[in-house]
Amino acid sequence: MDDLFAEVLDEGCENFKAEMVQAIKEVMNKLNAILRNDPQVLVCNTYKECFPDNLGHYETEIARLVDQLLESLLTDFREIHQKAAIHGTGHYFTVSMHDIYENCDSERPLTKGKTLHKCRTELFEAGACDPNGPFRGIPEGVEVSMIQALNQNGGVLQTTF
């Protein structure tokens, strides 16, 4: 799992940044072409005053905002990585194991002839090794948190423009 997060944090974010900057530049160039050929904009001299002289400034500002977005995403992704790899309060595996721990906490053997320890061990093994068990909660938690981080940080970028 650490290798996957290393790939996302090291390579994925830089690729994401490059793609985002490129996509925004393409939009700005298309907007430039549309405004340059729009007679209504040309009549009032708005295009010349607002757009070509400030295009470099816009690109610099966009690059700065994308860098801020990337830094915020990296912070969120590192936190998600910690929650996926380390046992602790609110972490994905810990949350997934809670029901199993609760189920194993019986006070007396469920069947005659078995010790309390044996019964608890069987319940624990059955719950922990179940295909729909606690390990399934890790990728689900990571996916939900990643989507939430992308939406939250993307929302901040959208409101800035």
Query: How many domains does the chain contain in total?
Result: 1
CA distance 106 to 14: 50
Note down the domain range covering 123.
2-160
CA distance 110 to 107: 9
Angle between helices 92-104 and 137-160 (to 10 degrees): 140
Question: Model pTM?
Answer: 0.70
Q: Which long-range contacts (CB under 8 A, 24 or more apart) does 79-88 make?
A: 80/142, 80/145, 80/146, 80/149, 81/2, 81/5, 81/9, 83/141, 83/142, 83/145, 84/1, 84/5, 84/138, 84/141, 84/142, 85/1, 85/2, 85/5
The per-residue pLDDT string of the chain (161 residues; one tens digit each, 9 = 90 and over) reads 777 787 777 777 778 888 888 888 888 888 888 877 887 777 777 777 777 777 778 888 888 888 888 889 889 988 998 898 888 888 888 888 888 888 888 777 667 788 888 888 888 898 888 888 888 888 888 899 989 998 888 787 777 65
